[in-house]
Structure 1
Amino acid sequence: MSDTSQPVALLVEDDESIAFLLRFLLERLGCRVLAARDGVEAMQAIESGEVAKLVLLDMMLPVHDGLTLLARLRSLPQWDGVPVVMLTAKGEQGFVDKAFAAGATAFVQKPFNPTELMERLKPLLRTA
């Protein structure tokens, strides 16, 4: 039972427990969630034709990392302007700089506070 009026969020996270929590948060925000567990599934989702209104993208993934996926996503005109929130346990400034240079909208370091994350995502969904 899919409601086409719901905004679609693409969730790319290989850690099952984090993915479960993020799906829950996105659904609470009224999103229909497309989930990918690794770089291959994420690449398929990006190239499938369905464009999300928001992307939560883990940096460290099997096969294709988050920066590779972000570069691919930003190379497709239909994804231009879609907010991409990068998630990672690596908070070093170099990773943050690379993510923003590649077109990330925001950066969230793990572990994160679920309530704070929801508050950060709300305005991104409104502008998407």
Structure 2
Amino acid sequence: MRALIIDDSKTMRVILRRILTDLGFEVAEAGDGQQALTVMETGPLPELCLIDWNMPVMDGYTFVTRVRDVPEWRDVTLMMVTTESSHGNIVRALAAGAHEYVIKPFTPDAIQEKLELLGLVKDGAAA
């Protein structure tokens, strides 16, 4: 199963990559939403995107709305992983098409639990 990590923090991408590879995902990375759209247009389509909200060039919310505008990308699971913790932004992201929302800081178990709820991880491994 393929995942795309979208975060302007290299450190955060390393942390998320470790969590996802330990769960059996193949991982690609992008530093902002615009780079992520390019990855999705040119590479194999990921089944999962982990998305930060606050990034330069294109933020995570805009990325979510752009992905949801492309019918061929309808089945990609989108999970926000961000410091944006206001109730309004959580509701906004979910209404725009995100499936889950994780607030930083998080534990590896929190990411795994969300992926299990989404049916992407079963018994500690990518489904």
Which residue of structure 1 lines up, in the alignment, with residue 15 of structure 2?
21
Which residue of structure 2 lines up, in the alignment, with residue 3 of structure 1?
none
Which blocks of at least 5 consecutive residues in structure 1 are unaligned?
A: 1-6
Which blocks of at least 5 consecutive residues in structure 2 are unaligned?
A: none
Please identify, of 75-84 and 23-32, the stretch whose mean Cα deviation from structure 2 is larger: 75-84
| TM-score, with structure 2 as normaliser | 0.87
Question: 2: CA distance between counterparts of 1:39 and 1:82?
Answer: 15
Which residue of structure 1 lines up, in the alignment, with residue 46 of structure 2?
52
1:117 is aligned, of 79, 89, 111, to 111
**3-state DSSP of counterpart to 1:81:** coil
Question: 1: CA distance between counterparts of 2:50 and 2:56?
Answer: 16
Please identify, of 97-106 and 43-52, the stretch whose mean Cα deviation from structure 2 is larger: 43-52
Does residue 89 of structure 1 match 2:97? no
Contact 1:51 1:78 in 2 (8 A): no
Percent identical pairs in the alignment equals 38
Number of equivalent positions:
122
Contact 2:47 2:75 in 1 (8 A): no
TM superposition shift of 1:74: 0.9
Report Cα offsets for 1:26-61 as digits up to 9, x if no partner: 111111101001222112113225211111011111
Output the amino acid matched with 1:47.
E
Which residue of structure 1 lines up, in the alignment, with residue 102 of structure 2?
108
Contact 1:46 1:73 in 2 (8 A): no
| TM-score, with structure 1 as normaliser | 0.87
Report Cα offsets for 1:58-107 as digits up to 9, x if no partner: 11111001111111111111211221100111100111011011100000
Question: What is the aligned-residue RMSD (CA, Å)?
Answer: 1.7
2:71 is aligned, of 73, 77, 85, to 77
